[in-house]
Structure 1
C-alpha cells in the first residue's frame, strides 16, 4: 500500500508532478564551465502553497 504524500508546510494532500523546463538543468560543480548536457530535473510540488517536497535529477549517471 502506497502512503499518500502530504505537504509538511500546509498539510495539503494534492501533490503534483512537475518538470523544470529545458533551460533549467543541474550540473556537477566541477563541470560547471565544461561543455556538458547536464540533467533535467523533476519535482513534487504542493498544489496549495507551492512547497517543493522532492526534487530529482532525471539523469543521475551524468554525475559520476
Structure 2
C-alpha cells in the first residue's frame, strides 16, 4: 500500500496551498512562491510516477 507516497502528495499539496495564502497576504514574494510551487509540484509528480511504476509492476 502506497502510504508514504500518498502522505508525501498530501503534504506537498498543503505546502503549496499555504504558500499561496502567504503570497496573497503579501508575506511571500512572487519569486519565492514560484520556486516553492515548482519544487513541490515536481515532488507530487515524482510520487505519482513512483506509485504508477511500483504498483503496476512496471520496470524503472
Q: Larger strand proportion, structure 1 or 2?
A: 1
Q: Larger helix proportion, structure 1 or 2?
A: 2
Q: Same fold (TM over 0.5)?
A: no
What is the TM-score normalised by the length of structure 1?
0.22
What is the TM-score normalised by the length of structure 2?
0.23
Whose RCO is larger (CA < 8 A, sep 6+)? 2
